[in-house]
Structure 1
């Protein structure tokens, strides 16, 4: 009996010791994040040196558990200065953030404490962190990105036509922002320059005629090569008030597998979709399908008036299991087709880190599955979350083939931007299979290259082929394309060798020599279908050979963002040193951010300074 009591006492003592040690090893910090204007909803609160974090609720309040070995919180909100606070003995930390009014007030966030050789370190002890020092980034990171080889220059004499599909996706920009905010330079293949440019809204011409989008063009000097020129082609889709939009039939397809079990995946997903649900109208409908080891229906198609019921279904979700993505997609489309709204918006919104690992899982399998389903008239939106095992290439493929769009949500503000602020453009398609084809006048243009859109290039004959899939444009969307031009007579290291096998078209055919001898720089043709249409409509715009000296804010900002993308991808076409390019960006960006109500352009400037500091 004595031995038993003695053993029990020892176990009780050890249990008490470990419980008290565990309690001491982590602390819960609470507080409120505000600004001079009031509470900040969706402000990010991150534990410096880790990927753990949270965001503030509707009252600006937060609660976060901080493991032993970490003692600093970083507070962020778009358009405001970052703020770092040492915890010490505090259990309540209230923070007021100040707005970033200019470059001198932008806070540069350097590498996070605990980041070693690009490793995202997790754990609650210094021993864990010491072990991580010997682990390389590639060994612990399984993110995948498609190879993104930069477009080169084409000779006008050999290839007078350039054809591509538009792209309204913005995932690359928010993903790049995630890397930079974590104190890392993004992988080159994660950077898609056109998505970085298209992340921002521009002041383009509104549609005035029968077409669903207006066109703006501008011709000016190229910022990264003084001997070259730059052509901007901008589209502005028609804006429609929310109450006048067609009714919606939406199916949330949510990944609840084990890989989604972190604060910036499933919890963030639920917060974002809750905000979307609040925007639903009486005649809108929502269903929820989840998938992990298998797929199932959590909520049948439900009226938008039953917001509490929909939100309650979201609240109950938790992560666990493997990822049967293919089964989930098939089930989601089945429900969307069963509740199809004629002349309405029918869409599946897929939310995942892209880590499909059960059933149909290859990009090819998924592509064929989506291509089969899109004929039903149900469109697809893909929203990516998280890091470490993020599958960018797979989600981009799904959105591309599903007549949809693709976004990456790195924080609550991005969730609100895509699902609330840009709600109309995300869900409601104005035109599908939108293609652009440009013919260059060889009298003025020796060579050209399309900046970005590497995975959106089309063959010349695809432009007139109505069976060829292309991009979609939603309500209120802006789309920008840039062409770098080598004018005739300019000596350039990038000028392709001459080839006499050129085609004879508008500017090269002797029968239309009047056009060739005119001041036309290029002709831009557009082709699109109605959302439920089978036949395309075509129209064109002509750009004259008139270089604008005082360029618009649109033109300057696209130069700024394109140049930053070229730095991140180490483009071979940037003529100057990176240090000179950073200097140019930071000198010119403030002049093109007068219309920045939501602070995204100011945030971009901070990211540029962060990247510059990481390179030093």
Structure 2
């Protein structure tokens, strides 16, 4: 009996010890998990510091008397806005150079009338007050591209160039990319053809040119893609353009669509090297679209450079909602160019305007003589695209701390033509298959009786928020609530809810400043 009791006690003690050991192991496991989580988060923080953006030096005021012309390339890229949205939604600080105000403004559509003459685009202009500075005025200049019905779109030869390197393994990179491209594939027709090229340590062809109506085969090729290895971006681009040239459709839409986080680390990888390659390849008549994915090591500067030099556009995909916008709602604008090398030149009347500054477009500024030089590259305009530019102006007779007066010139006589015109918009563009530019002009007389449009006020709110993110020296009124109210009161129709989302985004920003 005593022996049985001892055995029972031993078993009981052993059981208690096992429970204690088990608990300790569980505690140890939990503690290890916490440590592992901390390490992962630390890595993410470290990676986020590896994102790169081209330096943006904010445009200042220029005197109309000494510099009456303002010349720049259009920009239909919207990558900056969706990238900023990603950062704010993640509670991250937004780097100043990640903020490109023109791309924020152009993320939204505005109600411009379609062209009615032989030109594929129309010019519009409007003036009003500046919400962040009572001493200045705002000018809004808009372009509207003609819309090509889906049934009239040219046959497409598309080469998907997909980054499958190790850095693309995260859920918001290659997995999101596959789903996003599925939206594009769904819109392809029998006359369209698709090839898929991938690159990691080396580049290779995953799918030879396949008819757009064979969607199952195309999507099956996407399903086979996995991430791993280095990033031989230059080699991938070479191969993609070769495939595009081999399947070139004369009088068609020939385009390489590059999808990556931009982290090229094998072979040629500098912005300059990649830029030279793309400049050479654009002579083939193949256009380029760059799609950015993911966070941490996102290389915005590289993708912007490639898109600019490749007669193309640049977008950043942070969600499936953004993919739907790019490949669904704006399918034609994303993939079908109606004009290339589109340049704008504004001539201001010194009788009416003392000084001006272009808000944004810092990386798109051209020399005045570049306007009539057809060898100088500029932006492309897609089907149905809108382009909006804002100028802040100082009227004649108004003093402003943002502009220093200049003394009169000794050898140049100040002669000002007597005209009530406020400014003239000059525009040059080339048809997608041509190398000689066409020109058109638009004279703006000004209309003080006309009330500012909802679009005017909303665009102003976007510019105002962008300047606040950048810490602009030109904002007199800094109150974020005023910016939110301006956007909220001028949301307009907002059928897709993008403007409402912008308002929510600004409210979210309040918590992370």
Common topology (TM > 0.5): yes
Counterpart for residue 341 of structure 2: 433
Shift of 1:546: 3.1
Asked if 2 retains the 8 angstrom alpha-carbon contact of 1:172 and 1:191, the reply is yes
Shift of 1:342: 1.1
Counterpart for residue 64 of structure 2: 156
Partners of 1:560 and 1:435 lie apart in 2 by: 25
**Offset from partner CA, 1:3-35 (integer Å, 9 cap, x none):** xxxxxxxxxx9xxx89x979x98xxxxxxxxxx
| Secondary structure of 1:614 counterpart | coil
Counterpart for residue 607 of structure 1: 505
Partners of 1:379 and 1:136 lie apart in 2 by: 34
**Offset from partner CA, 1:34-82 (integer Å, 9 cap, x none):** xxxxxxxxxxxxxxxxxxxxxxxxxxxxxxxxxx89xxxxxxxxxxxxx
| Secondary structure of 1:219 counterpart | strand
Q: How does 1:137-176 map to 2 (within 5 A)?
A: 137=45, 141-176=49-84
Q: Judge which range, 489-498 or 565-574, deviates more.
A: 489-498
Q: How does 1:175-574 map to 2 (within 5 A)?
A: 175-498=83-406, 500=408, 516-547=417-448, 550-574=451-475
Partners of 1:544 and 1:575 lie apart in 2 by: 28
| Secondary structure of 1:206 counterpart | coil
Partners of 1:595 and 1:436 lie apart in 2 by: 29
| Secondary structure of 2:512 counterpart | helix
Higher Cα Rg, which structure? 2
Shift of 1:351: 0.1
Partners of 1:371 and 1:285 lie apart in 2 by: 24
Shift of 1:137: 4.7
Partners of 2:40 and 2:160 lie apart in 1 by: 37
Shift of 1:214: 1.5
Partners of 1:167 and 1:191 lie apart in 2 by: 14
Report the aligned-residue RMSD.
2.4
Partners of 1:548 and 1:452 lie apart in 2 by: 28
Shift of 1:590: 2.1
Partners of 1:296 and 1:229 lie apart in 2 by: 54
Asked if 2 retains the 8 angstrom alpha-carbon contact of 1:157 and 1:502, the reply is no
| Secondary structure of 1:403 counterpart | coil
Do the aligned partners of residues 494 and 509 (structure 1) sit closer, same or farther apart at CA in structure 2, a change above 3 Å counting? closer
Partners of 1:347 and 1:134 lie apart in 2 by: 39
Asked if 2 retains the 8 angstrom alpha-carbon contact of 1:289 and 1:331, the reply is yes
**Offset from partner CA, 1:584-607 (integer Å, 9 cap, x none):** 222221222221111110000000
Partners of 2:311 and 2:409 lie apart in 1 by: 37
Shift of 1:583: 1.8
Partners of 2:44 and 2:230 lie apart in 1 by: 26
Partners of 1:528 and 1:131 lie apart in 2 by: 52
Shift of 1:548: 5.3
| Secondary structure of 1:520 counterpart | coil
Candidates 586, 593, 608, aligned match of 2:491: 593
**Offset from partner CA, 1:118-161 (integer Å, 9 cap, x none):** xxxxxx83224556898895676200011011001001111110
Counterpart for residue 12 of structure 2: none
| Secondary structure of 1:126 counterpart | helix
Asked if 1 retains the 8 angstrom alpha-carbon contact of 2:48 and 2:295, the reply is no
Shift of 1:509: 8.6
Asked if 2 retains the 8 angstrom alpha-carbon contact of 1:206 and 1:236, the reply is yes
| Secondary structure of 1:525 counterpart | strand
Asked if 1 retains the 8 angstrom alpha-carbon contact of 2:59 and 2:357, the reply is yes
Asked if 1 retains the 8 angstrom alpha-carbon contact of 2:47 and 2:296, the reply is no
Tell me, which stretches of 5 or more residues in structure 2 are unaligned?
1-17
Asked if 2 retains the 8 angstrom alpha-carbon contact of 1:153 and 1:494, the reply is yes
**Offset from partner CA, 1:468-490 (integer Å, 9 cap, x none):** 00010000101000000000110
Partners of 2:410 and 2:53 lie apart in 1 by: 36
Do the aligned partners of residues 385 and 499 (structure 1) sit closer, same or farther apart at CA in structure 2, a change above 3 Å counting? farther
Alignment TM-score, normalising by the size of structure 2 = 0.92
Partners of 1:503 and 1:134 lie apart in 2 by: 63
Shift of 1:517: 1.5
Alignment TM-score, normalising by the size of structure 1 = 0.77
Do the aligned partners of residues 542 and 302 (structure 1) sit closer, same or farther apart at CA in structure 2, a change above 3 Å counting? same
| Secondary structure of 1:235 counterpart | strand
Partners of 1:564 and 1:394 lie apart in 2 by: 25
| Secondary structure of 1:534 counterpart | coil
Asked if 2 retains the 8 angstrom alpha-carbon contact of 1:154 and 1:496, the reply is no
Partners of 2:115 and 2:47 lie apart in 1 by: 50
Aligned residues: 493
Partners of 1:165 and 1:294 lie apart in 2 by: 35
Partners of 2:38 and 2:189 lie apart in 1 by: 53
Shift of 1:420: 1.6
| Secondary structure of 2:272 counterpart | helix
Asked if 1 retains the 8 angstrom alpha-carbon contact of 2:47 and 2:297, the reply is no
Partners of 1:144 and 1:300 lie apart in 2 by: 34
**Offset from partner CA, 1:364-419 (integer Å, 9 cap, x none):** 00000000000100000000001111100000000000000000000111111111
Do the aligned partners of residues 249 and 502 (structure 1) sit closer, same or farther apart at CA in structure 2, a change above 3 Å counting? farther
Asked if 2 retains the 8 angstrom alpha-carbon contact of 1:157 and 1:503, the reply is no
Shift of 1:184: 1.6
Shift of 1:343: 1.1
